[in-house]
Amino acid sequence: MLHLRRARPAARCCPARTVGRSDGGRARPGGGIPLMSKPSLRTVLLLSASVIVVAILTAELDWTIRFPAILALLGSMSYMTLALDSRRRQTTELEQLRKTCEQLDQQAKMIVRSDLELHRTQEALDRKVASLLALHELSQGLRISLHPEEVYGKLTPSLVTSFGFSKGLAGVYQSTGIVSWKALIGVTEAQAQQIQGHLQTSGWLDRLLARPSPVTVTVAQRHEASAARFLELLESSCLVVAGIKPSAGPSGCLLLAREDLGTSAEQGDEELVGILAAQLAIAIEGCALYEEAWRARQGLERSIQERTQELEEANRQLTRLNKAKSDFVSAVSHELRTPLAAIKGYASLLRSGQFGSVQPAQTERLAKVEKHSDTLTELINNLLDIARIESGRVTMESRPLATKELLASLTDLFKLQADAKRLTLSMDADGVDHLLGDPTHLPRVLINLLSNALKYTPAGGTITVRLSRRDGHIVTSVTDTGAGIDAVELPKLFQEFYRAAHPINEQVRGTGLGLALVKRIVEAHHGKIWVESTLGQGTTFTFTLPEEPARTSPS
């Protein structure tokens, strides 16, 4: 259809089609003049004028000659008139046909232009879709990158092609001020070195690091020396340069170029390259943060290992020191028990008068010697028990102890002391009929706790021993209405030789070993002990023991 105008001369050589045929469109066999057609006004006038002219010219001729001449002249005039009319109609039709062809030619050109535009639009859309798919695949691949510099090497030929480019470079900005290329697509090492030098000398590198937004360089900018040099080095007609500047990790730059001289910068190239640069920057940030976290974790693990080794060594030293202390205490205690027994024995003999009469003053002093000997013996025994329990040389038996009998014996033991201070001593078993424990050591726990309660509870107070069941354990508590203990002192009460800083301790003597021994006995029975106290209101010591004996699996 684009060449209809060229065929116009040939149309003029063809016979004109008939118009207004009354015989169904049949033409005269020998020519192009129709058999019958409606004559125009011009034809009628020409024929009338011809008749008049012939009549005038042949007025003096004989009819035999005039009639054929008239007929011949009329025929000739009629043929010429009809031929002229036919030619005029053909000319009109050809003009209409020409105009129609021109219109069709214009429409064809519009269709071709539209088709080209649609084709270019489709290519651009296909390229953008391919670019987005490539970005998605790149994002999946960037997740496994562990080092920031590895991200720059993710620029592959397929990725560059999907963005509509044929050449690409990606590099890391080093501390020395140069760019170290990590990916070269369609570019030689020599070209890359020249481009690196041009980036540095032309100031483009500093500009990209300051403003990393993508910049397009095309052949229209050849008058700019730096832009023309870029296109010359890359042998390309279009170049997009972008900076990569993550908030954490090494900065860099990205260059993508196409060498097709017939292709100009496409709309949206900068946007796609900007998205690619931003995605690379995000990946670099993630890698840098991961690497920082990994290094911090490695450092923390090393610190923990070093600290653990130090603690293990300190624990070993403490274990050795504790064992040495226990051995020393045991040895000293054994060495002290023998002279103490002798001292107490001789004091008893002297006070009994077996070696002669004793004066009252002497008897009183001998009684004090026996009393202090008993105190030292109790102290030594406590030290020996603590040392034996810590060293594991004492095994706690697990026997059922009748609660009724145990509480009755405690009442008998402390009733006189309680009555002397006008204290109310209360025992409440609450349905607990037995305790599981060592028959020798478990009563010592209650004896020590009740002894302390009697010492620190003023006259007229109350002491209560209460037993109950809770979650498979027997809970035993000893509560008094004494002076109470400061909350700061509570965590230290079970330490050896520790006594709370309270004025009443100046009046009540003690060694500070009773509660330490109680704690070790309870823990040796797989139980727990704790204390609750309020100054001026009283103190409650509570310990738990398993209700059933611990089950041991067969080896």
Tens of pLDDT, residues 79-109: 777 777 788 888 888 889 989 998 998 988 8
- Could you read off the pLDDT of 302-348 as tens digits, one per residue? 999 999 999 999 888 888 877 777 777 667 666 676 777 777 777 77
Average pLDDT over residues 468-485: 91
DSSP state of 31: S
The C-alpha atoms of residue 364 and residue 487 are separated, in whole angstroms, by 42
- Work out the mean pLDDT of the chain and round it to a whole number: 78
The region of weakest confidence among 41-50, 172-181, 312-321, 367-376 is 41-50
- The answer to whether residues 202 and 229 touch, using CB atoms and an 8 Å cutoff, is yes
The region of weakest confidence among 47-56, 216-225, 432-441 is 47-56
pLDDT number for residue 505: 54
pLDDT number for residue 66: 66
Sign of the torsion angle spanned by Cα atoms 382, 388, 391, 397:
negative
Average pLDDT over residues 51-77: 68
CA distances from 527 to 109, 402, 429, 449, 524 (A): 100, 19, 19, 16, 7
Average pLDDT over residues 472-497: 88
Q: Which two tokens stand for residue 22?
A: 């009354």
The C-alpha atoms of residue 265 and residue 220 are separated, in whole angstroms, by 10
pLDDT number for residue 463: 94
Is the model's pLDDT at 158 over the cut of 50? Answer: yes
Question: Any idea where the domains of the chain sit in the sequence?
Answer: 134-293, 396-546
Render 144-182 in DSSP notation, one character per residue.
T--SHHHHHTT--HHHHHHTT-SEEEEEEE-TTS-EEEE
Average pLDDT over residues 352-381: 77
Backbone phi, psi, residue 141, to 5°: -70, -30
- pLDDT band, residue 422 (cuts 50/70/90): very high
The C-alpha atoms of residue 41 and residue 173 are separated, in whole angstroms, by 94
Is the model's pLDDT at 3 over the cut of 60? Answer: no
Average pLDDT over residues 350-360: 77
Is the model's pLDDT at 522 over the cut of 70? Answer: yes
- Could you read off the pLDDT of 225-236 as tens digits, one per residue? 888 888 888 888
Average pLDDT over residues 5-24: 40
pLDDT number for residue 117: 83
- pLDDT band, residue 511 (cuts 50/70/90): low
Looking at domain 396-546, what is its CATH homologous superfamily? Histidine kinase-like ATPase, C-terminal domain (3.30.565.10)
Average pLDDT over residues 202-227: 82
Residues 6+ away with beta carbon under 8 Å from 436: 398, 399, 400, 401, 474, 525, 545, 546, 547, 548, 549
Helix or strand run (H / E) with residue 435? strand 434-437
Instruction: Tell me what percent of the residues of the chain surpass a pLDDT of 70.
Output: 76
pLDDT number for residue 118: 83
Q: Which two tokens stand for residue 255?
A: 């260059």
pLDDT number for residue 446: 93
Q: In what order do the strands lie in the sheet with 462-470?
A: 424-428, 462-470, 473-480, 538-546, 528-534
Is the model's pLDDT at 203 over the cut of 80? Answer: yes
Q: In what order do the strands lie in the sheet with 238-244?
A: 179-185, 167-173, 252-258, 238-244, 215-218
CA distances from 511 to 356, 430, 450, 507, 533 (A): 36, 34, 16, 13, 21
CA 261 to chain centre: 45
Average pLDDT over residues 471-492: 89
Is the model's pLDDT at 552 over the cut of 50? Answer: no
Is the model's pLDDT at 554 over the cut of 50? Answer: no
pLDDT number for residue 180: 86
Q: Is 342 exposed, middle or buried (0-12, 13-18, 19+ CB in 10 A)?
A: exposed
pLDDT number for residue 8: 41
pLDDT number for residue 530: 94
Average pLDDT over residues 64-87: 74
The region of weakest confidence among 6-20, 279-293, 465-479 is 6-20
Is the model's pLDDT at 369 over the cut of 50? Answer: yes
Number of H helices, E strands in the chain: 13, 12
pLDDT number for residue 475: 94
The C-alpha atoms of residue 71 and residue 51 are separated, in whole angstroms, by 9
- pLDDT band, residue 39 (cuts 50/70/90): low
Give the closest residue to 276 by CA, choosing from 141, 132, 129.
132
CA angle 377, 379, 384 (to 5 degrees): 95
Looking at domain 134-293, what is its CATH homologous superfamily? Transcription factor LuxR-like, autoinducer-binding domain (3.30.450.80)
3 state DSSP class of 499 = coil
Give this prediction's pTM: 0.44
Give the closest residue to 483 by CA, choosing from 534, 420, 531.
534
Higher pLDDT, 549 or 143: 549
Please provide the size of the chain in residues: 555
CA angle 382, 387, 392 (to 5 degrees): 125
The C-alpha atoms of residue 514 and residue 225 are separated, in whole angstroms, by 95
Helix or strand run (H / E) with residue 546? strand 538-546
Same fold, 134-293 and 396-546: no
pLDDT number for residue 395: 75
Under the phi-then-psi rule, with left for phi > 0, alpha for psi from -120 to 50, and beta for the rest, what region is 243? beta
The C-alpha atoms of residue 185 and residue 547 are separated, in whole angstroms, by 78
Sign of the torsion angle spanned by Cα atoms 434, 437, 440, 442:
negative
- Could you read off the pLDDT of 437-471 as tens digits, one per residue? 988 889 989 998 998 899 888 889 999 999 999 98
pLDDT number for residue 36: 43
Instruction: Tell me what percent of the residues of the chain surpass a pLDDT of 90.
Output: 13
- The answer to whether residues 146 and 288 touch, using CB atoms and an 8 Å cutoff, is no
